[in-house]
Structure 1
């Protein structure tokens, strides 16, 4: 596969290491003769070390076959975070460090999560595009607040902080984009 075909959530092999792609940034050339660069940020699935490298669009990259299985959160404890396969009831344990970013969006009963598995080993969790979370802390809502672009920070039930319109209040349930951590709408 070529570097311009890499997608977020894919697994690639670089220098004998399997890398789970967590972010992808496309940098257009600044001159006519330049080539588009694909900046890949991810994590080594064995050592859990962060990985970052830029590839030219036509550069060859080895892809790793991933199996995606529907899972749900069972519990968190000292060993890590335990997920259960929604169909086979098999359990997978991941360390909190390895899914630190994803945990900000995972609340009890979240539907639509997928476990990324290769060679019987769980690599990570793929979140749905949007999640619904409750506001647990924010400044009081303003009665005369217009629907203008004025926002305030709000802490959600998972600890994630997002900017929300100033008319929202504690206890309201909102929809959040998991790629950008942006407020979308009331749920």
Structure 2
């Protein structure tokens, strides 16, 4: 079932059905490692069992801001290597050396890999 992610209250993640406006709450077990990919108003696939969420799948791609990373090297555009970057949700992904703090990047949530910079 496609539901819109609303917010996390510290214990539960809350979702809403956009057609009925019914709200459902998922616990940490249903969210698993996907909490780092959940953005407000993102449409997620929520698997229900007896009306309760048992699994939450975030969108395949999300756009997140880099809040912490090492400075890149001037002139490095291809970047055979990479560096870790902390994103606005707390997720850490490996990014090319030219990517800087404050930039927004596209990440594949299925693999946790950097895809591209967002213009």
* CA distance, structure 2, for counterparts of residue 73 and residue 103 of structure 1: 11
* CA distance, structure 2, for counterparts of residue 100 and residue 186 of structure 1: 27
* CA distance, structure 2, for counterparts of residue 119 and residue 97 of structure 1: 16
Structure 2 unaligned regions, length at least 5: none
Match of 1:82 in 2: 14
* CA distance, structure 2, for counterparts of residue 147 and residue 137 of structure 1: 21
Corresponding residue to 1:94 among 15, 21, 26: 26
Match of 1:136 in 2: 67
Match of 1:153 in 2: 84
Q: Pick 1 or 2: higher relative contact order, CA cutoff 8 A, min separation 6.
A: 2
Structure 1 residue 84, shift from structure 2 partner: 0.9
Match of 1:185 in 2: 116
Structure 1 residue 133, shift from structure 2 partner: 0.9
Structure 1 residue 122, shift from structure 2 partner: 1.8
Q: CA RMSD in A?
A: 1.6
Give 4+ residue runs of structure 1 displaced > 3 Å after superposition. none
Alignment of 1:6-155 (within 5 A): 69-110=1-42, 112-155=43-86
Structure 1 unaligned regions, length at least 5: 1-68
- TM-score where L is the length of structure 2: 0.88
Structure 1 residue 160, shift from structure 2 partner: 0.5
The 8 Å contact of residues 63 and 105 in structure 2, kept in 1 or not, is answered as yes
The 8 Å contact of residues 79 and 98 in structure 2, kept in 1 or not, is answered as no
Name the SS of the counterpart of 1:184 in structure 2.
strand
* CA distance, structure 1, for counterparts of residue 15 and residue 90 of structure 2: 20
Larger radius of gyration: 1
Structure 1 residue 79, shift from structure 2 partner: 4.0
The 8 Å contact of residues 30 and 56 in structure 2, kept in 1 or not, is answered as no
Match of 2:106 in 1: 175
Structure 1 residue 82, shift from structure 2 partner: 1.0
Q: Aligned residue pairs: how many?
A: 118
* CA distance, structure 1, for counterparts of residue 2 and residue 113 of structure 2: 24
